[in-house]
Chain A
Amino acid sequence: MADTSGITADSLKNKLTEALQAQHVEVEDLSGGCGQAFQAVIVSPQFESKTMLARHRLVNSALKAEIAAIHAWTPKCYTPEQWQALQQ
């Protein structure tokens, strides 16, 4: 465990919730313990009328240091409406 990234699903979730005023964040640690691989669902009104590239850039800038420290980062970015539609 000495080689863990020090990054946890919770720390990512807190940071995303704060930085993007996200209404809903799910972060899943896929790394099996080393903290190197995460996937996330992020629902934020800040994604409105932004392309997917722009949404990812927004997320990446909020997590600059964290993403640099991990190997695999798979965000899925939805606006509140898109997320609501997906739930039905």
Chain B
Amino acid sequence: MFSRAVASAFRPVSRPTFLRPVRSAIQFPSGPSIPSVLHARLLSNETRTAIDKAVSSAPVVLFMKGTPETPQCGFSRATIQILGLQGVDPKKFVAFNVLEDAELRSGVKEYSEWPTIPQLYLEKEFIGGCDILMSMHQNGELAKLLETKGVLVAADE
């Protein structure tokens, strides 16, 4: 129901090719097997390092369910649409699909101390999830922030 509400509130992204495919160059280590009870609470150094690398891989980094072209969750879809409407430069954006990697999916929640996906990072700083982005989008804070960080497509392009 969420995605439908968003779809009616905002028109679809006008540039369907806006975001490039999820980059999968970074391999998340599978690591030794850990009892499932502990699994969610332990963020191994390898995973932390891999997420550090992921977060630094572009000025704008999104951890999401699915890909920008095919989001697998209404919240991830809404977030992609917001970034598209804001005019984030695809060259400065990378998305990571947490559904492809269980270690990333649980690890990033602990890394960010944030319990849900999607999660947006801007210059390695955690900005928030879908709700926060939605209200920042609506109150103009997001436009200001993205402008300041210089991650929008130049107006004359």
Contact = CB atoms under 8 A, between A and B. Distances in A.
Interface of A: 30, 52-53, 56-57, 60, 64, 67-68, 72-76
A60 B132 CA distance: 13
Main secondary structure of the interface of A (DSSP, over half): helix
Nearest to B133: A52
Interface of B: 1-2, 40, 74-75, 113-116, 126-132, 135-136
B40 A52 contact: no
A64 B1 contact: no
8 closest A-B pairs (Cβ-Cβ)? Answer: A67-B115, A53-B128, A52-B132, A60-B115, A74-B131, A53-B132, A68-B115, A73-B116
B1 A56 contact: no
Contact of B113 (A30, A57, A75): A57
Contacts of B126: 53
B52 to A, nearest CB: 20
Contacts, number: 33
9 contacts: A53-B132, A56-B128, A56-B129, A56-B132, A57-B113, A57-B114, A60-B114, A67-B116, A72-B75
Given A52-B135, A53-B132, 12 more contacts: A30-B1, A53-B127, A56-B132, A64-B115, A67-B116, A68-B115, A72-B74, A72-B75, A72-B116, A73-B116, A74-B131, A76-B131
Contact of B115 (A30, A52, A73): A73
Nearest to B139: A52
Contacts of B74: 72
Contact of B136 (A30, A52, A67, A68): A52
B4 to A, nearest CB: 12
Contacts of A60: 114-115
Contacts of B130: 74
Nearest to A73: B116
A60 B112 CA distance: 12
Contacts of B115: 60, 64, 67-68, 73
Contacts of A73: 115-116
A19 to B, nearest CB: 15
A64 B131 CA distance: 17
